[in-house]
A and B are shown apart, each in its own frame.
Chain A
Amino acid sequence: MNLIAFYVFALLIVASAITVITNRNPVASAVALAFNLVAIAAVFMLLDAQFIGLLQVIVYAGAIMVLILFVIMLLNLREEARAHPAGTFQRVLGPLATLVFAIVLGRAVYASAPSSFPEAAAGFGTAGSVGKELFTTFYYPFEAISLLLIVSMVGAVLLAKKKLS
């Protein structure tokens, strides 16, 4: 049952990723990416990482993608124009190169894992276990990343402000 669900979600992930990289309309790409992120969150939950899966929906699909959509709409970006019509050589070479790269990468990672998952530990993937590690072992990185987020917020506001002339 889990296997069927995984195949379905994997198909959705690949299909929406292909939409992201091929569709010329940036809004369509953004919506496809949001769909992709929710499908990846579903795979996370299939792998028992519940907390991270739900965080993925809240942070990535619910906040970052909305931000990207906002900027696309503020800038009123329409369809991306082609520099020059892609010839047969480019139209074949792009997907071919991607396929070759995917095969090389795939073969590299395929051998690095066993063929089945072991039993999950009792509290694996819950907010409690992740939170405990976060606030004890990874305390300094946690503080650092909150500082980073503030810096990034201030930087974004400064960069995007209209210059008062």
Chain B
Amino acid sequence: MIDPRLVLLLSAVLFSLGVAGVLLRRGAITILMCVELMLNAANLAFITFARLKGGAEAQIYVFFIMALAAAEAAAGLAIVIALFRLRDTTDVDEINLLRW
């Protein structure tokens, strides 16, 4: 059947794609989306280990990660909206108010 190591490999690939996205993209919302990719990679690894070990503990960690991601997305997007009103751009290279 399914090899758990393959699922973990998929999780690792997804995580590295998320890291690449965060480092290489310039739009604030796109960076937030790549952070969601990384969180989902972690969720995938958690579920694999939950299936290996049995029990509901790891699934509850995934539940909490999902709730946390929702809270973080809401707050992060509100910050992006406020920033957009101020600077009229979501490009993170332009948000350099602290540097004069």
Contact = CB atoms under 8 A, between A and B. Distances in A.
**Touching chains A and B, CB distance < 8 Å:** yes
Interface residues of A, number: 84
Contacts of A110: 5, 8-9
Given A2-B2, A40-B40, A80-B27, A94 B20 contact: yes
B10 A117 contact: no
Given A17-B17, A47-B7, A60-B66, A148 B71 contact: yes
Contacts of A51: 59
Interface string A74-94: 110100110100000000001
Nearest to A79: B27
B48 A10 contact: no
A52 B51 contact: no
Contacts, number: 234
Q: Kindly state the interface size class of chain B when it binds its partner.
A: 35 or more
Contacts of B17: 14, 17-18, 20-21, 98, 102
Given A17-B17, A67-B74, A97-B20, A52 B32 contact: no
Query: Do most interface residues of chain B lie in helix, strand or loop, or is the interface mixed?
Result: helix
Given A64-B70, A116-B1, A130-B59, A159 B16 contact: no
A98 B49 CA distance: 25
Contacts of A67: 73-74, 77
Contacts of B84: 75
14 contacts: A17-B14, A29-B30, A44-B47, A52-B62, A68-B33, A68-B77, A72-B29, A98-B19, A101-B19, A113-B52, A115-B3, A133-B56, A156-B74, A162-B85
The 8 A-B residue pairs whose C-beta atoms are closest, nearest first, are A21-B21, A152-B71, A159-B78, A156-B78, A102-B16, A133-B56, A105-B12, A98-B20
Interface of A: 2-3, 6, 10, 13-14, 17-18, 20-21, 26, 29-30, 33, 36-37, 40, 43-44, 46-49, 51-52, 55-56, 59-60, 63-64, 67-68, 71-72, 74-75, 77, 80-81, 83, 94-95, 97-98, 101-102, 105-106, 108-110, 112-118, 120-121, 124-125, 129-130, 132-134, 137-138, 141, 145, 148-149, 151-153, 155-160, 162
